Amino acid sequence: MRVAEAIVRILESEGITAAFGIPGAAINPVYEYLGTSRQIQHYIARHEEGAVHAADGFYRACGKMALAICTSGPGATNFITGLYTAQIDSIPLIAMTGQNVRAQLGKEAFQCVDIAAIAAPVSKQTWCITEPDQVPTLLREAFRVAREGRPGPVLVDLPMDVQMAEIDYDPASDAPLPIYKSEPNRAQIARAVDMLLAAENPVLIMGGGVLLAGATEEFVEFAEYLSLPVITTYQATGGIPANHPLHVGHIGLQVGSPFGNRFFLGSDLVMGIGNRFGDRHTGRLDVYVKGRRFIHVNIEPAHIGRIVPTSLGIVSDAKLALEALLEEAKSRTASRPPAERVARIPEDRQRLARKTDYDQVPIKPQRVYQEMNDFFGADAIFTTGCGLTQIWSGQFQAIAKPHTYLASGGAGTLGYDLPAAIGAKVARPEATCVAVMGDGGVGFMIEELAMACQHKVPIIVLVINNGYLSLIRQNQRYAYEYEYAVDLTYDGLGTDFVKVAEGFGAYAERVERPEELRAAFQRAVECGKPALIDILVEREADASMGASLDAIREFV
């Protein structure tokens, strides 16, 4: 069998149903057999980075891997930002690149670049496979590596003559490799329960790893059994409903809430499960750790004790750890009623919530998110990338279910949102998928509207348009007291996103008044094709943020 055909048969065996990519001479042997697959649907991206973001969004929405595929040289190097975005947020996907023939490797031949070496720092693992007979084994290994432990993207680079080689391969005698899951140490689990029961003001942190492990139900059951308050990291948004009586909300420098930060600072024991203690979550570490002990459960041993001093570290799959914690808790005590400060969470959360019900024109950005919360149902999927638009989204959007809020967290990638929404909609076609973007961010990947229009993937793009690179404007203004090179307006408003979107074949309209938002959302949902709503908002509105949890500057 030709290697290129064997590759496609393995992709099918591993459950791949969606491929996002751009063909080219160096990957055309694989494309020949992709074109004959009855299982894998290919979506033509317009930029290779967009293909990776779409594969990323596909996994975040449904928990199944997708393929990102492109040719050699600049096609392959365009994968890098997408790989970095997926790697830091622990999103598994298969990136496959074509390569010049083996005889040209290392000779600066046309479009011959060592992409395996270039991508290695931003991927979980990379391979350039130069022996045809190794392709089946190493491709199976790539899938195993992507899924096992802390998940992440992998890259497989394939020289053209390797793709064209004939090998002795029988699909019937090949199968996916088993995935090992780390089990928790039972003595450490018992010690963790000891500490939680003895603490006066404990708090749980749900990290994105809980969602990746499919363990949100176990987490919530454990929290409810011991009446433990829950803080969600940004990547865990939706893991517990926003209105759950134990849900404190986000904490942190940007997407944190006033109530969440205040509540955390009153804790004495913190148990983080599946989280990284990232800098935007912790802020200044002296403030974050003072007066607190930490228990950290993570599948990656190197993450424990890396940032916060850890009294107890447990290396484990989050789901297995939570099952063990619940079993241990039930063996020790009956279900506990909430302490007074925990019982007050719903009341205090509402009392300290930031204002969103503004009526003025230009529209206050906060009002846009209020209207989104009121209009879109609990099953709607949202994507967002970076900037004030993303920060406001984290502060104001009320998310009720896991895998419905897909954000570029650690990378903060402008433009991620639009192609990620396409991947999410392909993964879950029954869901309404909404990319929440700024006018700066939409300019990075707006060409992927063509992919959505060509393949009839009806996503909705909401552009919160203030005519600025507004996060950078805010930073310049308050950190350095100047403003330069951040104004995106020209000849009036600047880019006419309505005309641009219509040029791709999408439905588009502009909204300038808050009372027009709901009807515009309805038209976008009902139009039956990709839609873009350009929402003109107050130009110099700022987002609340600061350097430490006890020093957040609030703006209204």
| Last-in-domain residue among 104, 135, 166 | 166
The answer to whether position 181 is within a domain reads: no
Tokens of 117: 């070496």
Q: By C-alpha distance, which of 154, 153, 157, 20 is closest to 87?
A: 153
**pLDDT of res. 492:** 87
Q: In what order do the strands lie in the sheet with 247-249?
A: 247-249, 230-232, 202-206, 269-273, 293-298, 312-315
The domain spanning residue 102 has which CATH number?
3.40.50.970
| Last-in-domain residue among 115, 138, 166 | 166
The answer to whether position 284 is within a domain reads: yes
- Cα angle 195, 236, 405 (rounded to 5 degrees) comes to 165
**pLDDT of res. 402:** 98
The answer to whether position 177 is within a domain reads: no
Q: Indicate whether 338 and 370 sit together in one domain.
A: no
| pLDDT tens-place string over residues 435-458 | 999 999 999 999 999 999 999 999
Tokens of 269: 């024991």
**How far apart, in whole angstroms, are the C-alpha atoms of residue 10 and residue 303?**
33
The answer to whether position 459 is within a domain reads: yes
Widest Cα–Cα separation across the chain: 72
**pLDDT of res. 174:** 97
Beta strand segments in 178-291, E: 202-206, 230-232, 247-249, 269-273
Number of compact structural domains in the chain: 3
Q: Indicate whether 424 and 521 sit together in one domain.
A: yes
Q: Indicate whether 333 and 453 sit together in one domain.
A: no
The answer to whether position 171 is within a domain reads: no
> Beta strands 41-44 and 202-206: pairing type?
unpaired
Q: Indicate whether 330 and 391 sit together in one domain.
A: no
**How far apart, in whole angstroms, are the C-alpha atoms of residue 510 and residue 177?**
51
The answer to whether position 555 is within a domain reads: no
pTM tops 0.95: yes
Q: Indicate whether 538 and 489 sit together in one domain.
A: yes
Q: Indicate whether 333 and 374 sit together in one domain.
A: no
**How far apart, in whole angstroms, are the C-alpha atoms of residue 442 and residue 437?**
6
Q: Indicate whether 29 and 79 sit together in one domain.
A: yes
Q: Indicate whether 276 and 384 sit together in one domain.
A: no
The answer to whether position 178 is within a domain reads: no
The answer to whether position 470 is within a domain reads: yes
**pLDDT of res. 34:** 98
H helices present in 416-530, as ranges: 417-427, 439-445, 449-454, 470-475, 497-504, 517-526
Q: Indicate whether 381 and 410 sit together in one domain.
A: yes
Q: Indicate whether 537 and 413 sit together in one domain.
A: yes
| Residues with Cβ within 8 Å of residue 56, at least 6 apart in sequence | 82, 85, 86, 89, 91, 93, 153, 416, 420, 423
| pLDDT tens-place string over residues 230-267 | 999 999 999 999 999 999 999 999 999 999 999 999 99
Residue spans of the chain under pLDDT 50: none
Q: Indicate whether 90 and 8 sit together in one domain.
A: yes
Q: Across the strands, what pairs with 41?
A: 18
Phi and psi torsions of 422, nearest 5°? -65, -45
The domain spanning residue 273 has which CATH number?
3.40.50.1220
Q: Indicate whether 387 and 530 sit together in one domain.
A: yes
- Full domain range(s) for residue 452: 365-542
Tokens of 280: 């935007």
